[in-house]
Amino acid sequence: MKILLLGADGQVGWALQRSLLPLGDVMPSTRADMDLTNLALVRDAVCRHAPDIIVNAAAYTAVDKAESEVALANRINADVVEVLAEETQRLGGWLIHYSTDYVFNGRNPRPYVETDAPDPLSAYGASKLRGEEAIRKVGCRHMIFRTSWVYAVRGSNFPKTILRLARTRDELRVVSDQIGAPTSADLIADVTALALAQAIRAPEGAPSGLGGTYHLAAAGQTSWHAFACHILRLAVGRGLSLKVGPDRVVPIATVDYPSPAKRIANSRLATDKLRSTFGLSLPPWETHAERFMAELSPESV
Ligand SMILES: NC(=O)c1ccc[n+]([C@@H]2O[C@H](COP(=O)([O-])OP(=O)(O)OC[C@H]3O[C@@H](n4cnc5c(N)ncnc54)[C@H](OP(=O)(O)O)[C@@H]3O)[C@@H](O)[C@H]2O)c1
């Protein structure tokens, strides 16, 4: 199996470089190898490599900046994805792609299921939805994993920002009225590999086999505020020296933290479809948070 992995240096891409190895010959591609803004280059590269599977972990993920860079966000999150879908269809392979809780408006009173109607509130969310729609329109064999609140030891993310600020600031103010499940890039990568291993071996009977859209998030839920406190408690437990401990994190409302892009109140994703289709269990979000703290070196914060 030849697997072309795009976005190999990102949080999820880096984790996938390891998780996908047992499935075949992984060809990691970073921005230095292929600038995704050049669609012709992308098409040529896919033709040249002729992969059996494309795993697209690349994305424009700067949620606030996307409000002023709509064209670029759409290019990376939708136009490139359409090219990948067309080439996958031509090659008869699989396209694995990632999307986001931000395709929803967050007003659902319960966790979102895959069939809930999308209604993105931000340019980023809209661009990711366009990417999903492009894949479905082209009709190649695919799996789209919608995930949420991604973090990893490598890369920039919420827990690392909290740890950095807790070392320098006197007080932290963190939003407490947005809820979701922090999901580690390692979990996303492992689940991707396990699902993919089943999908590529499934009988060809149904037109798309095990393909489709799946929600992929750790079990449980929390708020950004409670997540920040949890991370700081783990840090204190590991002897990290902080100026702000968990008891000095002030909960604030979303309206008190204005940002260019609208954030959604409910990021919870129901994962029943993923778990029942592939027979997988998803650990509580706290499990990977502990691993994250155990693996993080103080210098990398
Ligand atoms: N992060 C989250 O909280 C979150 C939440 C829900 C869903 N998701 C989705 O999960 C997936 C993985 O996210 P992530 O957190 O791993 O993202 P990430 O760490 O930001 O990685 C994205 C990768 O895409 C690459 N990329 C962006 N523009 C490029 C371009 N023009 N040419 C080549 N490469 C380019 C980046 O390269 P550089 O490093 O060179 O910029 C980076 O390696 C994405 O589809 C994202 O939308 C993420």
* Predicted pLDDT of residue 147: 98
Q: Is residue 288 part of a domain?
A: no
Which H or E element spans position 222? strand 222-223
| CATH code of 135's domain | 3.40.50.720
Q: Which residues line ligand 1 (CB under 6 A)?
A: 7, 9-13, 31, 35-37, 57-61, 76, 98, 100, 128, 147-150, 155, 185
Q: Is residue 28 part of a domain?
A: yes
Residues with catalytic annotation?
Answer: 124
Q: Cα(192)–Cα(294) distance, rounded to whole angstroms? A: 23
DSSP for 61-120, please give it: --TTGGGT-HHHHHIIIIIHHHHHHHHHHHHT-EEEEEEEGGGS-S--SSPBPTTSPP--
Q: Is residue 248 part of a domain?
A: no
Q: Residue with the nearest Cα to atom 43 of ligand 1? A: 10
**Three-class DSSP category at 175:** strand
* Predicted pLDDT of residue 205: 56
Where in the sequence is the domain holding 63, given as residue range(s)? 2-155+182-220+267-283
Q: Is residue 170 part of a domain?
A: no
Q: Is residue 21 part of a domain?
A: yes
Q: Is residue 238 part of a domain?
A: no
Tens digits of residue pLDDT in 25-66: 999 999 999 999 999 999 999 999 999 999 999 999 999 999
Count of structural domains within the chain:
1
* Predicted pLDDT of residue 209: 77
For the chain, which residues score pLDDT lower than 50? 207
Q: Residue with the nearest Cα to atom 42 of ligand 1? A: 10
Q: How far is the CA of 10 from the centre of ligand 1 (A)?
A: 5
* Predicted pLDDT of residue 204: 63
